[in-house]
Structure 1
């Protein structure tokens, strides 16, 4: 996940990333949100990626146009996004949650 912010002055997120694999082809990161409101911080994805949720629940997504949407996730059910997605991902649950992000670096 690229950590470039949309405004140049965005604050870093509070979610905890743990990188498990980082080589010339793939980066695999677990993002852990300890409490409701924890977030990744604004970023733009520089690579195609897949997310695998490790929980059943919702994430709130802040978008560049100022809107917020929610994503209903199911444990173990992955989704794919293409390069260029820009957002801040926020834990919308009253419990700790996490997902694994797999970035395709080439």
Structure 2
């Protein structure tokens, strides 16, 4: 997922021809993924209740309020830096869909 290095730790848990599953762990408030652009459609499953700050290429910052176990999905092409807004360690699971979404 990441093109640049942030302070959050990404650990690939599973990878095959169809998907890549990565745990992203933020040890403290302010830890970040680093700027990156998603090459694939993906979904995120938070493992905490809390917030993530999302920096966007136009210079804006939005806040995402997440609930433990409640997933959300995004299309390929999303560019951002994800920053923990929490005063506790938190993590989420990211599942990238590596297959071409277009029918054969």
TM-score (norm 1): 0.91
The aligned runs of 1:55-70 (5 Å cut-off) are 55-70=48-63
Q: What does residue 38 of structure 2 align with?
A: 45
1:96 to 77, 85, 89: 89
The match for 1:29 among 10, 15, 22 is 22
Match in the other structure for 2:10:
17
Structure 2 residue runs of 5 or longer lacking an equivalent are 100-104
Secondary structure (helix, strand or coil) at the match of 2:57 reads coil
1:4 Cα offset (Å): 3.0
In the other structure, the counterpart of 1:72 is: 65
- Structure 1, unpaired ranges of 5+: 6-11
Aligned residue pair count = 99
Which residue, out of 54, 59, 75, partners 2:47? Answer: 54
Q: CA deviation at 1:100?
A: 0.1
Q: Find the residue that maps to 2:95 and give its secondary structure.
A: strand
RMSD (Å) for aligned C-alpha atoms: 0.8
Work out the CA distance in 1 between the residues paired with 2:59 and 2:71: 26
The question of whether the paired residues in 1 share the 8 Å contact of 2:44 and 2:71 is answered with yes
